[in-house]
Chain A
Amino acid sequence: MKAKTFFNLFMIAFFIAVIIGSYQYNTKARLMPLVIAFPCLVMSIVQLATDLRGKKKKKVLSLEDEMFLKTMEKVHQEVVEEKKVEKTSREEALGLLKATGWVLLYCLMVYLVGFLITIPVYTVLFMRLNDDSWLLSLSTAFGLWLTIYVTFVVLAKMSLYDALIFRLLEG
């Protein structure tokens, strides 16, 4: 199954869930969710059918997209050529997996050790693994940490997230 079809199915499932969920509430509370979810469900189904049916059709672009693309084609031939380096679907999937992994790692680190430790450690880790020098990585990490610490902890007197590790240590 193609990712696009999967995403369309996700939309359909979402609106079905909203409709089913809405019937648990009284008439007044469910009115608006149903007013929105029913037509959106129909549109999602039509969208899925259109995508499945219309694969052979040439893509229809908006006026702005057409103008933008025409200009891009005309003026930025070199840039377009450079960006046209085809990636295989496997490479695409790996790239997406890697990018998602980095975002999730950030969340996990914040959950475990909090913002003030995550910020420098993650920055150094991310930059070093992307071939930046130690000096640049460490200075960026320190600068970023200092900005956040001074702005939020010292000046705004905010308490950042109480991480799991500190809660465990406190018992």
Chain B
Amino acid sequence: MFEAMYNGLLMTMSWQVVGVLLITIPIGLILGILPGVGGKVGLAILIPFCFGMSPEVAMAFLLGMHAVVHTGSPVPAILFNTPDGPAAATCIDGYPMAQKGEAGRALGAALASSGFGGVVGAVLMALTIPVVRPLVLAFGPPEFFMMTLVGITFISLMSGGSLMKGLIGGGIGMTIAFVGMDPQTGVVRFAFNQLYLFDGINIVNVSIGIFAIPEVISMIKEGGSIAHTQADEVKGAGVWQGIKDTFIHWNLTLRCSVIGSIIGMIPGLGGEAASFICYGHAVQTSKTPERFGKGAVEGVLAPESANNSKEGGGLIPTVAFGVPSSGAMAILLGAFMIVGLVPGQEMLTKHLDIVFSMVWVLAFANIIGVLLCLVFVTPLAKITFIKVSVIVPFILVFAFLGSFLATNNFGDIIVTCLLGAVGYGMKEFHFPRAPFVLGAVLGDLTENYLHLSMNLFGLKFLLRPLTLMLLTLIVLTIFFQLRRMRRLEKQAEGGMV
């Protein structure tokens, strides 16, 4: 284990990995600062750049970017009251601080706690690997088959009110994965005699079509620029005070980092939940809760430390079981599979050094990201004023070029456009898109595990103890979600009377 940890460090310190980290960290910061673009779109359009990279370099390329997306997001939240997802919790106290002339302190606190949380998340990930490893090694094809279904079910919970919409999305994604030659039987399925479809639909096209194209359409529709107000200049002394605040309130920052990391491990719960739960925790444990909402620095520290620490926690189920905890993790999982990193036993045996390299990448990316942000905070904040008309051509170029490079066929662009239309429909009518991508990523694996299980045990594979436990977990998840929805519906009806 320690050898793998050391090898992971050596891997991370190689010039290729350091080089890609220096490229992707600024990209991640910029994407985080641009509300509406976000990490998922960024991941989708960056995947094609990984073609030809070795697995560890490709992993660092994508994870380095993803790790710092939330480091940049408090900048517009605090300065312009323009949050993106989880940074909404930071606005509650961050923006009032900026209005009181403490923008620098709020930013210093947000960035330092982000970095702190990111490092704690990475450490917790490293500590969890030895615990999870024996469990994963005890799994066989039937258990992994069930785990893929658990993944789809859990991520469908991100649909919020409608579990059904999430499951439908996951179903379509899985069906997309069945297009092309079936490796079990050699039968070409759903290809409509198109040679291009014989190899199946590439996950790059799915990610770009489902996430990037709908965002571009929305951006063109809305137009304008992201921020509308000019912020005051950020002063250095205040920033330093904010950094000191992180360590003065180290207890709160550490607690929220651990909570965020644990929430990150629970599939379907991540995102805004981690930052809001930690904000609530800060209010509850404060001796002066009346200060919150009026510019309390603890209200910035709590959500920001949780925001970054959850990524470390989220990587555990993703690499160990192939069950991503969020939409971004689903895309990341797809990218890992493209470069040959298959989640599960192989990841925790053959590629254990790469898993530990992820831990190091997370830690280093967070530290570098925070330092960059602290140095360039004023010019970075100005990015928020870039007009949509400037951003759109950039995203379109990388989206379509990325799609084309998937297999060097114009069919890729057509498929991306069609999936973009489906993605836009899903976005408009509140169908969660992450289960779609996860279904497309896991479809082949699920089918493979099902056939292996059937060949090894027949239908009796369903009666194996672990399989039964996982099946029960799926049924209970669906049952409790339906019960919760029914309760909320009743409350809503009661409220209307």
Given the known A-B contacts A57-B493, A98-B221, A127-B389, are A106 and B396 also in contact in the complex, defined by CB atoms under 8 Å?
A: yes
Q: In the bound complex, what is the Cα–Cα distance between A96 and B214 (angstroms)?
A: 11
Contact check, A161 vs B88: say whether CB atoms are below 8 A apart: no
Contact check, B185 vs A4: say whether CB atoms are below 8 A apart: no
Main secondary structure of the interface of B (DSSP, over half): helix
When distances are taken between beta carbons in the complex, the residues of chain A under 8 Å from B387 are: 130, 132
When distances are taken between beta carbons in the complex, the residues of chain B under 8 Å from A130 are: 223, 387-389
When distances are taken between beta carbons in the complex, the residues of chain A under 8 Å from B388 are: 130
Shortest A105–chain B CB gap in Å is: 10
B492 contacts the other chain (Cβ, under 8 Å)?
yes
Tell me the residues in window 199-256 of chain B with beta carbons closer than 8 Å to chain A beta carbons. 213, 216-221, 223, 228
Q: In the bound complex, what is the Cα–Cα distance between A68 and B161 (angstroms)?
A: 14
Shortest B277–chain A CB gap in Å is: 9
Contact check, A36 vs B171: say whether CB atoms are below 8 A apart: yes
User: B174, B178, B220, B428: which contacts A99 (Cβ < 8 A)?
Assistant: B220
When distances are taken between beta carbons in the complex, the residues of chain A under 8 Å from B83 are: 76
A89 contacts the other chain (Cβ, under 8 Å)?
no
User: B81, B216, B400: which contacts A76 (Cβ < 8 A)?
Assistant: B81
Closest chain A residue to B420 by CB distance? A103
Shortest A16–chain B CB gap in Å is: 12
When distances are taken between beta carbons in the complex, the residues of chain B under 8 Å from A100 are: 217, 421
B375 contacts the other chain (Cβ, under 8 Å)?
no
Closest chain B residue to A35 by CB distance? B450
When distances are taken between beta carbons in the complex, the residues of chain A under 8 Å from B272 are: 64, 67-68
B446 contacts the other chain (Cβ, under 8 Å)?
yes
Given the known A-B contacts A64-B273, A96-B221, are A75 and B92 also in contact in the complex, defined by CB atoms under 8 Å?
A: yes
Contact check, B160 vs A103: say whether CB atoms are below 8 A apart: no
When distances are taken between beta carbons in the complex, the residues of chain B under 8 Å from A156 are: 52
Contact check, A104 vs B417: say whether CB atoms are below 8 A apart: yes
Contact check, B404 vs A11: say whether CB atoms are below 8 A apart: no
Contact check, A122 vs B221: say whether CB atoms are below 8 A apart: no
Contact check, A96 vs B217: say whether CB atoms are below 8 A apart: yes
User: B161, B178, B392, B400: which contacts A107 (Cβ < 8 A)?
Assistant: B400
When distances are taken between beta carbons in the complex, the residues of chain A under 8 Å from B216 are: 99, 103
Closest chain A residue to B444 by CB distance? A32
Q: In the bound complex, what is the Cα–Cα distance between A98 and B81 (angstroms)?
A: 29
Contact check, B178 vs A33: say whether CB atoms are below 8 A apart: yes
Closest chain B residue to A105 by CB distance? B396
A72 contacts the other chain (Cβ, under 8 Å)?
yes
Tell me the residues in window 366-416 of chain B with beta carbons closer than 8 Å to chain A beta carbons. 387-390, 392-394, 396-397, 400-401, 404-405, 410, 413-414
Q: When A and B form their complex, what is the total count of cross-chain residue pairs whose Cβ atoms lie within 8 Å?
A: 198
B138 contacts the other chain (Cβ, under 8 Å)?
no
Shortest B120–chain A CB gap in Å is: 23
When distances are taken between beta carbons in the complex, the residues of chain B under 8 Å from A76 are: 81, 83, 91
Closest chain A residue to B184 by CB distance? A28
Which of under 10, 10 to 19, 20 to 34, or 35 or more describes the interface residues of A? 35 or more
Contact check, B393 vs A62: say whether CB atoms are below 8 A apart: no
Contact with A along B155-171 (1 / 0, CB 8 A): 00001111011011001
B7 contacts the other chain (Cβ, under 8 Å)?
no
Count how many chain B residues have C-beta atoms less than 8 Å from C-beta atoms of the other chain.
75
Contact check, B168 vs A75: say whether CB atoms are below 8 A apart: no
Shortest B115–chain A CB gap in Å is: 24
Name which of B167, B401, B450 has the most chain A CB atoms within 10 A of its CB. B401
User: B89, B91, B164, B425: which contacts A47 (Cβ < 8 A)?
Assistant: B164
Contact check, B228 vs A148: say whether CB atoms are below 8 A apart: no
Contact check, B450 vs A32: say whether CB atoms are below 8 A apart: yes
B95 contacts the other chain (Cβ, under 8 Å)?
yes
B16 contacts the other chain (Cβ, under 8 Å)?
no
Tell me the residues in window 140-157 of chain A with beta carbons closer than 8 Å to chain B beta carbons. 140-141, 144, 148, 152, 156
User: B160, B175, B413: which contacts A110 (Cβ < 8 A)?
Assistant: B413
Given the known A-B contacts A28-B184, A40-B168, are A18 and B161 also in contact in the complex, defined by CB atoms under 8 Å?
A: no
Contact check, A60 vs B228: say whether CB atoms are below 8 A apart: no
Contact with A along B278-291 (1 / 0, CB 8 A): 00000000000000
Tell me the residues in window 418-458 of chain B with beta carbons closer than 8 Å to chain A beta carbons. 420-421, 425, 428-429, 446-447, 450-451
Given the known A-B contacts A98-B221, A102-B220, A103-B213, are A127 and B390 also in contact in the complex, defined by CB atoms under 8 Å?
A: yes
B346 contacts the other chain (Cβ, under 8 Å)?
no
User: B81, B92, B172, B397: which contacts A40 (Cβ < 8 A)?
Assistant: B172
Contact check, A36 vs B496: say whether CB atoms are below 8 A apart: no
Given contacts A26-B187, A130-B388, 16 further A-B contacts (CB under 8 A): A28-B185, A47-B162, A50-B164, A58-B495, A63-B160, A71-B88, A75-B91, A76-B83, A99-B220, A102-B220, A103-B217, A107-B400, A115-B400, A119-B393, A136-B390, A161-B404
21 A-B pairs within 8 Å (CB atoms) are namely A3-B428, A8-B429, A29-B187, A32-B446, A36-B178, A40-B168, A44-B168, A58-B493, A58-B495, A59-B492, A60-B492, A62-B160, A62-B161, A63-B273, A64-B276, A67-B273, A68-B88, A71-B91, A75-B95, A76-B81, A130-B389
List the 9 closest A-B pairs by CB distance, nearest first: A62-B160, A40-B171, A130-B389, A99-B220, A29-B187, A58-B492, A123-B393, A60-B161, A95-B221
